[in-house]
Amino acid sequence: MNLRPDPTFHASPKLAMQAPVENYAFTVMLSPDGSQSDGIAVIDLKSDSKTYGQIVHQVIVPNTGDEFHHFGWNACSSSLSPLSGHAFLERRYLIVPGIRSSRIYVIDVKEPLKAHIHKTIEPEELFAKTGYSRPHTIHCGPEGIYVSCLGGGGKDGTDGPPGIFIMDCETFEIIGRYEMDRGKQDKHYDFWWNLPQDYMVSSEWGLPPQFENGIVPEDLLSNKYGHSIHFWDLRARKNVQTIDFGENYQMALEIRPAHDPTKSYGFCGVVVDTTNLQGAIFTWWRGEDGTWQAKKTITIDPRPEDPANLPPLLQGFGAVPPLVTDIDLSLDDKYLYVACWGLGEMHQYDVSDPMNPVLAGKVELGGIARGTKHPNGKGFAYGPQMVEISRDGKRVYWTNSLYSTWDDQFYPDDEGGQMVMADVGENGGLTLNKDFYIDFPKGLRSHQIRLEGGDCSTDSFCYPSV
């Protein structure tokens, strides 16, 4: 407990944008075959430092086979609401789940160069207390830390529906399940919320047998992955509305609500439309009558390609699907970044009018049957994937691995983990930074990035930007 609120807590998104820039990044390192231990790489982002853009510390866990994926903070700017009662928490711990092992590590990063494991929660404890498995998205919210899980109980995670559980934000004890009434929700992926407006939105990837050993083409072509998003009365823990995008909109993944809490809209990325291989972004919003609406506002076309250049999985289609696998919204709610992991492109959309996004910038890097090189001449395995934006919106960082088994299906010839950064122009536009290129240690891939002091996909704000 501090005597003053943590200096990285900001009342509004605008104040967070004006705060000092990030000094470090924390990036997941994962061993795709479980032959090594996974870890968190601490990366120096101080532009005047001799070790700028290098991994300066690693927290390597003692187990193997965890498969790190997403992770998050124990506390964020939402602590500045008196309603939370947590104004004096420190933003100090990263909650890092193993999506394959269901083990959860709490890593103390108070001193980034001495970051170390603070606590480990074994999978058995998670199973016993929640009946959930495969923990994924982390957000700090009312009552503690919320964690979404992709699996239910049982060996293959299909015994009962997956859902969210709550963890104490000081002791990291698992408290129990979140849901009181889950309605139609039977799959899970991401979730986020608007705390003052008291709603939560959750999304769907698929059940563990649909992703753990690779994508199941038959399931995809018969539209069996998730295609709905769920709206919740956050504090009543009740699913109040489910919107089905349509069964062809397979894999509704990242949920990105507007950061300004006065706004009642957000975005959700859909990996692939099975009717035409397009990638899609839906804008969801609360209508005049209080019910939720959603509309497809961005489509990204596939690129025709000679089947000879394609992995076996895609040869029948003769095209490269964009594969929208991650999206991220800048703190001023102006730019939405869309990772097209299949095409090998990072798109920047001006979403000042959320119903009419306009493509403002684009970077090509990697990609199926294209493999665009980085401006420094080096290769980039797979395509742009997990994307994180600096608080001030001027730098966009991303890594390249989607998920171990899926990487191997879509990019059978690629291997490696990279993290790059692009600079954002004054009036939009995106340019890869020639000097920022991190090659991860051999045998390790990279996934989600967290920025010291918070970033554009962690903090929830309880006061509007004025």
Partner 1 sequence: MLEDMTSVTALWGAVILSGIYHGINPGMGWPLAVSAALMERRHKALPRALAMLAAGHFVAMIAILLPFSLMIFLVRWSVEIRIGAGLLVIAMGIYLLINRRHPKILARVHPARLALWSFLAAMAHGAGLMLVPIFLGICAVPPEDAGHVAAGTLMSGNVGTAFAVAAAHTLAMTLSGGLIAAAVHAWLGLKFISKTWLNLDLVWAISLIAVGAFGVFSAYSGH
Binding site for partner 1 (CB under 8 A): 1-5, 7, 9-12, 15, 80-88, 142-144, 170, 195-198, 235-236, 261-262, 462-464, 466
Least distance from partner 1 to the Cβ atom of residue 3, Å:
5
**Rg value, the chain, Cα:** 20
Smaller CB distance to partner 1: residue 18 or 54?
18
Find all residues with CB under 8 Å of 48, minimum gap 6, and list them.
none
Least distance from partner 1 to the Cβ atom of residue 169, Å:
10
Smaller CB distance to partner 1: residue 94 or 140?
140
Which residues share a beta bridge with 246? none
Smaller CB distance to partner 1: residue 195 or 253?
195
- 167-182 exposure pattern, b = at least 16 Cβ within 10 A, e = fewer: bebeebebeebbbeeb
Least distance from partner 1 to the Cβ atom of residue 325, Å:
33
| C-alpha distances out from residue 428 to 127, 350, 425, Å | 46, 8, 5
Smaller CB distance to partner 1: residue 132 or 461?
461
Q: What are all long-range contacts of 430-435, with beta carbons under 8 Å and residues at least 24 apart?
A: 430/346, 430/348, 430/360, 430/361, 430/362, 430/363, 430/396, 431/363, 432/363, 432/365, 432/374, 432/375, 433/395, 434/375, 434/376, 435/53, 435/376
Residues in the chain: 466
Alpha-carbon distance 411 to 13, whole Å? Answer: 38
Least distance from partner 1 to the Cβ atom of residue 76, Å:
13
- Which tokens in the block code for residue 220? 């995809």
Do strands 303-304 and 174-177 pair parallel, antiparallel, or not at all (unpaired)? unpaired
Alpha helices in 87-170 (DSSP H): 123-130
Smaller CB distance to partner 1: residue 335 or 463?
463
Least distance from partner 1 to the Cβ atom of residue 261, Å:
7
Smaller CB distance to partner 1: residue 147 or 369?
147
Residue 80: helix, strand or coil by DSSP?
Answer: helix
Least distance from partner 1 to the Cβ atom of residue 245, Å:
29
Smaller CB distance to partner 1: residue 86 or 227?
86
Least distance from partner 1 to the Cβ atom of residue 160, Å:
24
- 339-358 exposure pattern, b = at least 16 Cβ within 10 A, e = fewer: bbbbbbbbbbbbbeebeebe
